[in-house]
Structure 1
Amino acid sequence: MVRERGQPRRWAVGITGASGAAYGVKLVRELLGAGIDVHLVISDAGWRVLKEELGWDASRRAAAVAEAFAHIEGGRLVYYPPGDIGAAIASGSFRCEGMVVVPCSMGTLSAIAHGSSDNLLTRAADVALKEGRPLLLVPRETPLSAVHLENMLKLARLGVRIIPAMPAFYQGPQTLDDIVAFMTGKIMDSMGLDHHLYDRWGEQHES
């Protein structure tokens, strides 16, 4: 996407009900800190996982989002409920560089693969596809069935980046945060964004 001079950088981010909510939260924090506007939508199942894994108060959704990212200076955060299909990111005329769904459940991945947009998250992903914008999906599931693999292959052939949540260990992670940072960095690599979230292989040998 070619941005006009002065136009803010914008990415849509979706968080679904797959395990690994920390990946989505970390990505949003990194994007905001980099001065990128984030248009965030969280599925109902995504809220269940945020509550179970990170202790978010799912009964106060907008307030929980505001509290989680209030301390970050940089980009602007816009949060949408999943039922708000009239939101800006539901329209192809809204300028946006692309979308990341992290983590991406197999149900959401299937809906995107089959053009079934019955909520704002899947509609925004469908918009990215139809407008030819980058769409990155970060599935977190194991083991994978043939159905899962066929849906991923279908989307990959359409140009969707499939980035499974498969952290590496060559960088010597010491904490869970290190593992989350590595995966977040891999996502940002595919978004074409600079970061310093992990030490790259061979970096110590570069002049």
Structure 2
Amino acid sequence: MPRYIIALTGASGAVYALRLLEELLKQDNSEIHLITSDAARIVMEQELGWDCQDSLALSLQRYLPPGKIFFYDNSDIAAAPASGSFICDSMVVIPCTMASISAIAQGSSRTLLERAADVMLKERRPLFLVPRETPLNSIHLRNMLTLSEMGVSIIPAMPAFYHQPRTIEDMVSFVVGKVLDAMQIPHDLFQRYAGQIKK
């Protein structure tokens, strides 16, 4: 059974997280362990127009298709994903704040998200980060280089245009498709470039 840790931070790009969760829940027998921060709830409210007064978990359950999903608060540092004995296929932080990238790069491990990411690094399991929107300063770039050198996949939320997107959903699907590609999960979220055909 595929098991994934998905973490949502307070970075802009909540729609990317929602789309990824939808795609992962389409897989047979997939198990998702979702870590959310208070800031992620605020972003969901602002960017998606959700009312998350109860909890982000309850709001997501209303919008997501049925599936095996476990919810964790980012302050719950004793949760299962904080342990190296918790086996999972990969972890994705989407969208990822620069504060989270900094903490992961420096190994601070003060929250569940940071501890889970640190576990992925020490156990040499796949970790994928989807940084928030531009611009980036030199500190951000150095932190991402540090993580890249440790084997972390950095997948910026940068849509391409060779597939001729017509809607925001098309651009979101492209970015999420790139995350799924990195996770080696088949999808049909965008039309792949086939090269020019010479006659």
TM-score by length of 1: 0.90
Is 1:9 paired with 2:6? no
Within the candidate set 131, 156, 170, 2:123 is matched to 131
Amino acid at match of 1:161: S
Within the candidate set 57, 63, 75, 1:68 is matched to 63
Structure 2 unaligned segments of length 5 or more: list them.
none
Name the SS of the counterpart of 1:173 in structure 2: coil
Is 1:52 paired with 2:55? no
Q: Retained in 2: the 8 A contact 1:105–1:141?
A: no
Give 1:47 shift. 1.1
Q: Equivalents in 1 of 2:118, 2:41: separation in Å?
A: 21
Is 1:34 paired with 2:27? yes
Please, which moves more after superposition, 122-131 or 144-153?
Answer: 122-131
Give 1:24 shift. 0.7
What is the CA RMSD across the aligned residues, in angstroms?
1.4
Alpha-carbon spacing, 1:165–1:105, altered in 2? closer, same or farther (3 Å)? same
Q: Equivalents in 1 of 2:136, 2:86: separation in Å?
A: 35
Q: Equivalents in 1 of 2:190, 2:133: separation in Å?
A: 24
Give 1:169 shift. 0.8
Q: How many residues align?
A: 195
> Where does structure 1 differ by over 4 angstroms across 4 or more consecutive aligned residues?
none
Partner of 1:195: 187
Partner of 1:5: none
Alpha-carbon spacing, 1:67–1:203, altered in 2? closer, same or farther (3 Å)? farther
Give 1:49 shift. 0.6
Deviation string 1:149-183 (CA, Å, 9 cap, x unpaired) is 00000000000000000000111111111111010
Q: Equivalents in 1 of 2:195, 2:88: separation in Å?
A: 32
Name the SS of the counterpart of 2:108 in structure 1: coil
Partner of 2:148: 156
Name the SS of the counterpart of 1:198 in structure 2: coil
Is 1:88 paired with 2:83? no
Give 1:116 shift. 1.1
TM-score by length of 2: 0.94
Structure 1 unaligned segments of length 5 or more: list them.
1-7
Q: Equivalents in 2 of 1:203, 1:31: separation in Å?
A: 29
Q: Retained in 2: the 8 A contact 1:90–1:124?
A: yes
Name the SS of the counterpart of 1:59 in structure 2: coil
Deviation string 1:6-30 (CA, Å, 9 cap, x unpaired) is xx11010011111101001110110
Give 1:117 shift. 1.3
Deviation string 1:40-60 (CA, Å, 9 cap, x unpaired) is 011111111111001222221
Partner of 1:116: 108
